[in-house]
Structure 1
Amino acid sequence: MLQIGVTGGIGSGKSMVCRIFSALGVPVYYADERAKWLLNHDHQLQRSVIELLGNEAYTANSTYNRAWVASQVFQNPSLLQQLNAIVHPRVREDTEAWMKQNAAAPYVVKEAAIMAKAGQNNALDKVIVVDAPVALRVTRVLQRDPQRSEKEIRDIIARQISDKERRQIADYVIYNDESKLLIPQVWKLHLLFKK
């Protein structure tokens, strides 16, 4: 079974690309969404996060306090690294269990904001990068998340790897710049992967 990674910067449209794969019957693992789910439902993971960051990491009703955690770790690279060292192994275990459940599929897609080149400390066979100009990405996120400011979105983009670095890990690039249709680009890759 082929394992295909899909990544891209905030607002690039990687989730839309994955929804197209899903509509084609391809199992899709949304790593960032599963990480959020695990942070809210996996009690051992919650205890580990609280040990690292304190009780403020969760609200009174035991919901992961994402905004507070972000305010703590994004100014402190060492703390961010420690948090990732807690969360990433648990997401990796969850991914492996999901892969086993979908072993009969010709190929599966894993979506994640952070991804290494295929075969570089991961089980991915190929990586698709979804690419879009920064100005368009900012506009999309402002429409999707009106509570965010343009400055906040641009700060997130600045913390992510650059588009150039992202393209260097790509086996394939899907252009979501509104000049090319998405579905034909995904369809072409779908035909290639399901062989």
Structure 2
Amino acid sequence: MLRVGLTGGIGAGKSEVARLFASYGAVLIDADRIAREVVEPGTPGLAAVVAEFGAGVLADDGTLDRAALARIVFADPARRETLNAIVHPLVRERSAALERAAGDGAIVVQDVPLLVEGGMMSHFDVVVVVDASPGTQLDRLVRLRGMTEEDARGRMAAQATREQRRAAADVVIDNDGPREALEARVREVWHDLERRAAAAA
């Protein structure tokens, strides 16, 4: 098994790279999706979040009001750390179970937005960073995701710097250009991962 950690700044295009890897045959473990699952209604994770942050983070239907929670944690690094201390262990536990189920010969790609921030580089055989310029990130967040510029800049500032991510990378996928260039680069990286997996078998 080859363990690949995939990360990148918000708006860099990491999700698209993850989708391409999965289409080539990777076993994809999406930390964001798992993070949503572990705080669904009725879970110990949601109970712990509500106990810490109050019922104001619940929507009328009993689900987590992500926007309300985001307003709290993105404005206060200490509160964000508290949230991470609740959610991250639950995500790691579920991710490990999915990885064990993947099988010996698999290339397991874990899509982890906060891989660098969490100092998780040593958990993986290869760290792949999807990189884009801050201008590109900002444009995508405002134009494609409908964020205000202020909100987008706040989200970007809450993450590791571009330099920190690139320094942690074994492989960098630049994503400032057209989609065709991204697909060609991801295919190239995938062949490299296949070679590494074969060498490790």
State the Cα distance separating 1:141 from its structure 2 match.
1.7
State the Cα distance separating 1:120 from its structure 2 match.
4.8
Partner residue, 1:67: 67
State the Cα distance separating 1:105 from its structure 2 match.
4.1
Q: Compute the TM-score of the two structures, normalised by the length of structure 2.
A: 0.88
Superposed, 1:148-187 pairs within 5 Å as 148-178=147-177, 181-187=181-187
State the Cα distance separating 1:183 from its structure 2 match.
1.9
Alpha-carbon RMSD across the aligned residues, in angstroms, is 1.9
Task: Name stretches of at least 5 consecutive residues in structure 2 with no aligned partner.
Answer: none
State the Cα distance separating 1:121 from its structure 2 match.
6.8
Q: Name the CA shift for 1:121/1:19 in 2 (closer, same or farther; >3 Å).
A: closer
State the Cα distance separating 1:75 from its structure 2 match.
2.5
Distance 1:120 1:75 in 2: 24
Of all paired residues, the percent bearing the same amino acid is: 32
Distance 1:126 1:91 in 2: 20
State the Cα distance separating 1:155 from its structure 2 match.
1.4
Distance 1:124 1:98 in 2: 15
Verify: 1:23 aligned to 2:23, yes or no: yes
Q: Name the CA shift for 1:42/1:154 in 2 (closer, same or farther; >3 Å).
A: same
Superposed, 1:92-171 pairs within 5 Å as 92-116=92-116, 120=120, 122-146=122-146, 148-171=147-170
Q: Name the CA shift for 1:60/1:105 in 2 (closer, same or farther; >3 Å).
A: farther
Partner residue, 1:50: 50
CA deviations 1:31-59 (Å, max 9, x no partner) are 11220222125611111111111111211
Q: Is the 8 A contact 1:49 1:86 kept in 2?
A: yes
| AA at the equivalent of 2:94 | D
Greater than 6 Å deviation, 4+ residue runs: none
Secondary structure of the structure 1 residue equivalent to 2:12: coil
CA deviations 1:124-179 (Å, max 9, x no partner) are 11111111111111121223222x21121011111211101110100010011106
State the Cα distance separating 1:97 from its structure 2 match.
1.0
Q: Name the CA shift for 1:122/1:60 in 2 (closer, same or farther; >3 Å).
A: farther
| AA at the equivalent of 2:24 | L
